[in-house]
Each structure stands twice: as structure tokens, then as C-alpha cells.
Amino acid sequence: MNNLEFVKNVLAEAANYEHACSVLNYDQETICPSAAMEEQGEVMAFLSNQAFKLLKQPEFIEAAEALYKDRQNLDELDRVLAEQLHRTYLETVNITPELDHEFSRIYNKAFVDWTKAKDASDFSMFKDSLEKVLEIEKKKIALRGYDTPEDAAKPVYDQMLDDYEKGITMEDLDRIFGRCRERLVPLLKKIQASPKKIRRDFMSRIVTDEQQRQMAQYLLEVMDYDFTRGAFTTTEHPFTDELGKNDIRVTTHYYEDDFSSSMYSIVHEGGHATFDQLTPESHYDNYIDGGKTMGMHESVSRFYENRIGRSRAFVHLIYPKTCEIFPQVMHDVSEEELYEALNVVEPSLIRTQADEFTYVFHIMIRYEIEKALMDGSLEIKDVPQVWNSKYQEYLGITPPDDKSGVLQDVHWTFGFGYFPTYAIGNFYNSMYYKELEKAMDVDATVAAGDFKKLNGWMKEHVFARADLVEPKQWIREITGRDLTPDDFLDYLEEKYSKIYGL
């Protein structure tokens, strides 16, 4: 008990630095002046390093490791905490505070360089920073400690994947993505050959930022987002930030000629926020709220964005308000036309604006590039060329510039192994959607706007144990089945065959 009390006191102190760091990160990605970004990054690196130093104290490590050795005698939440701390200990055992600070500075410099490179649409401005990120990512793996020789022998990229989605390997992804290629490539060709033409002209009609702000506010209200514990604003690349258990903030972006982009980025980020806002308070109090994997989180955000947000029932729910807020867009648009336009299948360059069907191809492309970078068959300087060729291969389109191609995503500024979680999230939510259907009439619930009921089921069945167990066990507990892409692929085939009359 003395060890437990000491560990939690140190974690509380570290959490103060991390909270301040999160506030600065939110500021940096929203309203920070461009000239101040690098300086702000230095402050963030300093604060992050202060938290890191606390967790590197010999007394803390000794107490945390003692808890891990005695974990079977702890209650569940404390046992999970001990296991999470042991995992962190192994990951950082050979990383000094000085080295951690150096890494933070490199990541922050990469973010600033990426921002400038994207604005200029020039990959060469980001190349050197990306090479440094790749170098330190590999270095961090080399510095790890391991419980067993088998763990140490795992391929470098498997270990990176494991950081974001515990237990997921290249073998898993090769099998899953192979299944996606097998079923989606021929279906995409059928869709493209369909005589059905979906009306899209109204989707690019001009709207104001204020109209989009009103729509974002409305959509978050529909989702039962708790504004007393959150806020929203705009950014270059939409994200959700969990600053604390009572401060879950979301962001979106406004494009005057693409009103739906803002709508569905806010629903996506609202999904992340719903997960965090409905996480049991005890998980925050016991410092285990970070146990959720990115695949779990993406399953929830994409559940709200696509399975719910692009359904007929949801379009029926929001259609009147869409007409009210965007009259210059919707004056001659029927509910059915809006539904079909929001579900059109059209290969595109930008992942975050991709339709639900072709989205997985964007993830597969990034996964293949990351694998090649890790095994040494691809050099950083050649990434734009390979990127463009893969877009042509999978989607039949080639980016005209770096901004709409290799520089579109921020993720490589902080490491590798993240992107596959976006696709894994689709597979998870398609599996637990089947369980949801057994519990309620989902379409009727959504059409009625009863998100308290919907969120209540998600809280009990999807959110409650996400911090406590690894993802393969988590999805098995929810559904009684092992991870499979087939539910997702079945859903796409059924939905889009109806839309396109196949």
C-alpha cells in the first residue's frame, strides 16, 4: 500500500506537467502564430521532460516494479496500472531524461517543418526531419528492455505497431488487408461501371464559416457531447485532445466549398470525445485512462462518423437542420439526394475526405510504405514517388503535388505504426455493431435522436473495459469472436450494392 500511494502521488505530479503540455499542444495546433510554433514546441519539450524525469526516479521505478511483481494481489484497476507502468518501464529503461528531451525536440521540429512544407507543397522541406524521426523511432526500439528473448526478437515494425495496437502484427495486417484487396478491388470496379449517377453539384456550393460553426455545434449537441466538459474550434488537421477527465476538446476545419467535410470531421472527433467523456471516472482517478489503443479509439470515432453518421436514419434526423443552416445549398435538394451524395464512392487524394468505401485503400498504401521504410527497401527521399505510384495503382489517381499527396497527414511527425489503426477501427466497429443490433432497433434510435440510449449501450459494452484489456481480448469479450474484417466487408457490399443498384 505504501508503494501504491507513492506511485500515485508521483503520477499526480507528472500529470500536472502533461496537462500543461496538452494545453500548449492544443494552442499550437489551433491559434498559435506560425512564428511562435518552434518556441512553443521547446516549452512543450521542457514540460514533457519534467514529467519524464519524475517517472525515471529510482524510487519510483523501484516502487512501480514492486507493484508489478505483486500485481496478482492488487485489485483490478491497480493491477492494470502496475502492468501499464511496467510496459512503460521496459520501453524507456535505457532512455535518459536528456535523450527524451532530445527526442521531444526532434518531434516538435518535425511538426513545424511539416507545417511549413505542407503550406509550400514541398516534401524536401520535411525530408530531413522525417529522416530524424525514423532514426529515433528505430533507436527507441533498440533501447528497449524485454521480459523474454521472444519479445526482443520481434521485428522492429511489429513493435511499433504494438505501441498503438497491442498484439497486432504485420502477419495480422497482411492477412486482413489481403482479404480487403480480394473483396473490395472487384467491387470498386463494379461500382465505377454502374450506370447510376449520383447528384453531387450541390456539395460544392459556397457556405460561410459561421454556418459551418452552427452546424458543428448542432451535430455535437445531437451526439450528446457535454459542453461543460469540452469545447471545439478549428485547426489544419482535425483532432481530439483529452486534457483531463473534465476537459475533452475537439476540432474541425471549414472549407467554403465543401460543407460536408466539416460536418463529418466534427462527428468523427465527437466520437473520440464521447469515448473519453464516458470513460469511467475511476479510470482517470487511477491513471489508467491511457490504456485504450488507437484501434479502439478509431473504431468509436468511425462508428459515429460512418456507421451512424452516414446512415439513412442519421441523414433523416439532420436533414431539416441542414436545410435550415445551409439554405443556399439545400433549397433544391431532397433527403434521398443528400443521403446518396454523402455516400458516393469516388476515389480521391485526401484520406480525411475519402468516402467510406475507398478509405481503407488510403490506409493500405501508408501501411505498405511504412513496412518498406522499416525493412530498408525504401528510402525517405523516394517516398513521394512511391506514394504517387501506389495511389495510381489502388485508386487510379495521381497527386498533382506534395500537399495533396505525401504531406497531407501529420502523423509521421511523431512516429510510425499509427495508420493501420484507422482500418482496424472499422473492423472492430462492424463486429460490435452486430451486437448493438441485437440490443435495439438502431435505425429507429438514431432517427429519433436518442443518443443517450445509443451512448449508454456503448458505454456499458464498448467503453467500460477498453482501458483494462488488450484489444484482441476486448473485441472477443464484446462479440464472442476474434478480429475479422468480414463484417465490415459484408456491410460495404450490402450498402453500396443497394446504392449503386448492383
From CA 452, how far away is CA 445, in angstroms rounded? 10
Residue 251 forms beta bridges with which residues?
A: 233
Contact 63, 79 (CB under 8 A): no
Contact 349, 391 (CB under 8 A): yes
CA distances 500 to 10, 196, 245, 345, Å, are: 58, 6, 44, 9
Q: Write out the three cell numbers for 223.
A: 451526439
SS3 assignment, position 232: strand
301: closest CA among 415, 370, 225, 229? 225
From CA 426, how far away is CA 300, in angstroms rounded? 9
Residue 250 forms beta bridges with which residues?
A: 232, 240
Output b/e per residue, 306-323; b: 16+ Cβ within 10 A: bbbbbbebbbbbbbeebe
Element (H, E) at 240: strand 240-244
392: closest CA among 421, 370, 361, 367? 361
Query: In which region does residue 96 sit, left (phi positive, over 0), alpha (psi from -120 to 50) or beta (all else)?
Result: beta
Selected catalytic residue, list 269, 298, 356, 370: 269
191: closest CA among 343, 350, 363, 397? 343
230: closest CA among 212, 218, 244, 216? 244
Which of 192-200's residues contact partners 24+ apart within 8 Å by CB, and which partners? 192/345, 194/500, 194/501, 194/502, 195/501, 196/499, 196/500, 196/501, 198/340, 198/341, 198/344, 198/499, 199/337, 199/340, 199/341, 200/341, 200/344
From CA 109, how far away is CA 106, in angstroms rounded? 5
Indicate the residue type of 225. Y
Residue 242 forms beta bridges with which residues?
A: 248
From CA 102, how far away is CA 309, in angstroms rounded? 42
From CA 22, how far away is CA 239, in angstroms rounded? 12
| 269 classed as catalytic | yes
List residues with catalytic annotation: 269
